[in-house]
């Protein structure tokens, strides 16, 4: 119940395309859903986050779509750029502030 | 921009040796965390720390692990007797809120146990 399931494991997108990463959770106690971006050799960095009372949040080229009834959320990267190539982790907070990460998606944007 | 700093960046140790990983969280943050990431795998929660005590710990955080905030700035993770399977990247994180705010991660300490 504490798991967050993420797919796909890896993703290759052409420059200018749309990257879509999906996550699903079971625990309805989760109340905050961030996405983290991690470059090789670096720590995860917050990209964008959403709360379950909102169905969509957009920041620049990054959009989170949230489906509370299905317990699913996804990250869309519009106009994907080679500089977006990184590993992306979805995550969920439980009540105590413990961040549960998904398995990660390695995104490669080809020029 | 304030950041979480970790030392050492890489430590190689023999199995059975004690290791201390150090972190300096962002100065006004009150909540501190250790996570680890085995190569190629997801980031896993180890422990959270608030008000000088452990708030929550995972099943990974057994008796071989301990955390301490020895002064007003440092936050340490000690592994008493390292095992081969402790080889991982260890990330420290801090936050000014619990459950509602952003976790700021350091760049990690890579531990290699031989």
Task: Give the residue on B whose Cα is nearest the Cα of A102.
Answer: B42
Maximum C-alpha span of chain B:
40
Measured CA to CA, the distance from residue B41 to residue A1 in angstroms comes to: 19
Measured CA to CA, the distance from residue B2 to residue B15 in angstroms comes to: 35
User: Mean of the pLDDT values across residues A74-91?
Assistant: 97
Residues of chain A with Cβ-Cβ distance to B93 below 8 Å are: 43, 99
Interface contact A32-B99, CB threshold 8 A:
yes
Q: What is the mean pLDDT of chain A?
A: 93
Q: Which residue among A32, A45, A104 places its CB closest to the CB of B100?
A: A32
Residues 81-100 of A with CB under 8 A from B: 89, 93-100
Interface contact A100-B45, CB threshold 8 A:
yes
Maximum C-alpha span of chain A:
42
> Do A17 and A80 touch, CB atoms closer than 8 A?
yes
What are the tens digits of pLDDT across the range A25-79? Answer: 998 888 889 999 999 888 999 999 999 889 999 999 999 999 999 999 999 999 9
Judged by a CB distance cut-off of 8 A, whether residue A104 touches chain B is: yes
According to DSSP, the residues that pair with A31 across neighbouring strands are none
Shortest Cα–Cα distance, A81 to chain B (Å): 23
Measured CA to CA, the distance from residue B43 to residue A97 in angstroms comes to: 15
Interface contact B105-A102, CB threshold 8 A:
no
Judged by a CB distance cut-off of 8 A, whether residue A41 touches chain B is: yes
pLDDT at A83 over 70: yes
Measured CA to CA, the distance from residue A69 to residue A52 in angstroms comes to: 10
**Exposure of A16 by Cβ count < 10 A (0-12 exposed, 13-18 middle, 19+ buried)?**
exposed
Measured CA to CA, the distance from residue B22 to residue A12 in angstroms comes to: 37
pLDDT the model gives residue B10: 96
Pairing of strands A10-14, B53-57: unpaired
DSSP B44-75: EEEEEEETTEEEEE-TT--TTEEEE--SSS-E
Shortest Cα–Cα distance, A68 to chain B (Å): 18
User: Mean of the pLDDT values across residues A5-16?
Assistant: 97
pLDDT the model gives residue A12: 98
The pair of three-digit structure tokens given for residue B99, joined into one six-digit string: 């459950």
Cα angle at A47 between A46 and A49, to 5 degrees?
Answer: 85
What are the tens digits of pLDDT across the range B40-62? Answer: 888 999 999 998 999 989 999 99
User: Residue A96's pLDDT band (boundaries 50, 70, 90)?
Assistant: low
Q: What is the mean pLDDT of chain B?
A: 92
Judged by a CB distance cut-off of 8 A, whether residue B99 touches chain A is: yes
A:B CB pairs within 8 Å: 64
pLDDT at B99 over 80: no
Residue positions counted in chain B:
114
């Amino acid at each position: 119940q504490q798991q967050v399931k993420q797919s796909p494991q890896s993703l290759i997108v052409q420059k200018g395309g749309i990257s879509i990463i999906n996550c699903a959770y079971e625990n309805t106690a989760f109340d905050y859903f961030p996405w983290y971006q991690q470059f090789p050799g670096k720590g995860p960095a917050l990209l964008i986050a959403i709360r379950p009372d909102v169905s969509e949040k957009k920041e620049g080229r990054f959009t989170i779509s949230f489906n509370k009834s299905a317990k699913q959320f996804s990250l869309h990267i519009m106009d994907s750029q080679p500089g977006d190539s990184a590993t992306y982790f979805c995550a969920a907070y439980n009540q105590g502030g413990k961040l549960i990460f998904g398995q990660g998606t390695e995104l490669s944007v080809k020029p | 921009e304030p950041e979480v700093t970790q030392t050492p960046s890489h430590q190689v140790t023999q199995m059975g040796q004690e290791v201390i990983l150090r972190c300096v969280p962002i100065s006004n943050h009150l909540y501190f965390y250790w996570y680890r990431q085995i190569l190629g795998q997801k980031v896993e929660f180890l422990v959270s720390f608030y008000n000088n005590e452990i708030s929550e710990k995972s099943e990974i955080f057994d008796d071989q692990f301990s955390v301490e905030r020895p002064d007003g700035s440092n936050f340490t993770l000690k592994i008493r007797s390292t095992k081969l399977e402790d080889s991982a990247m260890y990330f420290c994180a801090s936050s000014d809120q619990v459950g509602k705010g952003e976790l700021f991660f350091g760049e990690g300490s890579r531990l290699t146990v031989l």
